[in-house]
Structure 1
Amino acid sequence: MSSEKKASYMTQEGLDNLKKKLKHMVSVERPEISKQIAEARDKGDLSENAEYDAAKEAQGMLEARIAHIESQISNARIIDESRIDTNQVQMLNKVTIKNQKTGSVMTYTLVSESESNFKEGKLSINTPIAKGLIGKKVGDVAEVQVPSGIIPFEIMEISI
């Protein structure tokens, strides 16, 4: 893996949410796991102590998540939302597309990986659909390669 840092573009709201999540992990979850480890250690023989092993594993996973979020925060680049253009599809645009095979119409907002939430209609900029839409204009058809084949999406509307 290269040591090159990859900028992570996000909104101020997305960065604030990451910082909140990190604070909770460090100030609530980390002490909780430390307490579980101490309690399990107090129960004696660690070689056959499943509680201790589970708590240590949970600690390792938490530390990995903390490191990942710290990395995202340190590489964060805030997008100036006042400079967002709607002439062509780009990050933070709300895009209404029509699947030309099925006729279904969907609206997604293209966001960073850390802000994506499919239930809220926030589609990661790294997904095949988002990558296929970038740079397209209203009326264009994007031929998007998905696992099931190629789907033609017509760009119906681009907004903020």
Structure 2
Amino acid sequence: MKEKETILTSDGLKKLEEELENLKTVKRREVAQRIKQAIEFGDISENSEYEDAKNEQAFIEGRIITLEKMLRNAKVIENEDVGKDTVTLGSTVVLKDLEFGDEFKYTIVGSVEADPDANKISNESPVGKAIIGHKKGEVVEVEVPAGKLEYKIVDIL
């Protein structure tokens, strides 16, 4: 089975590489030290420090495997790949809610980088899916659990 492609901006790629490096160099060492200290306390069968450290170690190793797989299958969207005519991955768009008149500014990113609090929405989200491929001035309909929303693409930055 083919592994899923991970779509990233260059910033997203850098963040994942930094996280992986931190897990491999700093976190692995810290958890190994915690396990060593817990073993020094004696009987590990009823040692919660040891159990916690082993669980954290398993989490770290799992995350390292996940990050390595994501980076191996990364497709980086470069700034020069992002046009100003049509909404694509990497585009920053200004949308106007036609019902309430509110304007929102979003950057369309791959699902790995999605962070609604930072106005980064996934290309797989309802809004992201709806606006990709559309041009400035177009009105798009977005199916959401609450019903249908209409947005006008005010600008592509």
Structure-2-length-normalised TM-score: 0.92
Count matched residues: 157
Cα distance in 1 for partners of 2:60, 2:124 equals 25
Aligned to 1:82: 80
Report 1:87-102 matches (<5 A). Answer: 87-102=85-100
Q: Could you tell me which amino acid in structure 1 is paired with residue 4 of structure 2?
A: K
Residue 116 of structure 1 and its aligned partner are, at CA, apart by 2.5
Cα distance in 1 for partners of 2:10, 2:103 equals 29
Cα distance in 2 for partners of 1:12, 1:137 equals 24
Residue 136 of structure 1 and its aligned partner are, at CA, apart by 1.3
Aligned to 1:158: 156
Report 1:40-119 matches (<5 A). Answer: 40-119=38-117
Residue 9 of structure 1 and its aligned partner are, at CA, apart by 2.0
Q: Which runs of 4+ in 1 moved over 6 A?
A: none
Indicate if the aligned counterparts of 2:96 and 2:153 stay in contact, CA closer than 8 A.
yes
Cα distance in 1 for partners of 2:124, 2:60 equals 25
Structural RMSD (CA): 1.4
Q: Deviations over 1:86-126 (max 9, x none)?
A: 22211111111011122110010111223233232222222
Residue 42 of structure 1 and its aligned partner are, at CA, apart by 1.5
Aligned to 1:141: 139
SS at match of 2:69: helix
SS at match of 1:113: coil
Q: Could you tell me which amino acid in structure 2 is paired with residue 102 of structure 1?
A: F
Indicate if the aligned counterparts of 2:7 and 2:112 stay in contact, CA closer than 8 A.
no
Aligned to 2:37: 39
Q: Deviations over 1:101-154 (max 9, x none)?
A: 221100101112232332322222221111111111122221112222221111
Cα distance in 2 for partners of 1:66, 1:149 equals 39
Between the two proteins, what is the percent identity of the paired residues?
33
Cα distance in 2 for partners of 1:9, 1:84 equals 13
Report 1:15-34 matches (<5 A). Answer: 15-34=13-32
SS at match of 2:112: helix
> Which structure 1 segments of 5+ residues have no match?
none
Residue 35 of structure 1 and its aligned partner are, at CA, apart by 0.8
Cα distance in 2 for partners of 1:105, 1:75 equals 35
Cα distance in 2 for partners of 1:23, 1:113 equals 21
> Which structure 2 segments of 5+ residues have no match?
none
Q: Could you tell me which amino acid in structure 2 is paired with residue 41 of structure 1?
A: I
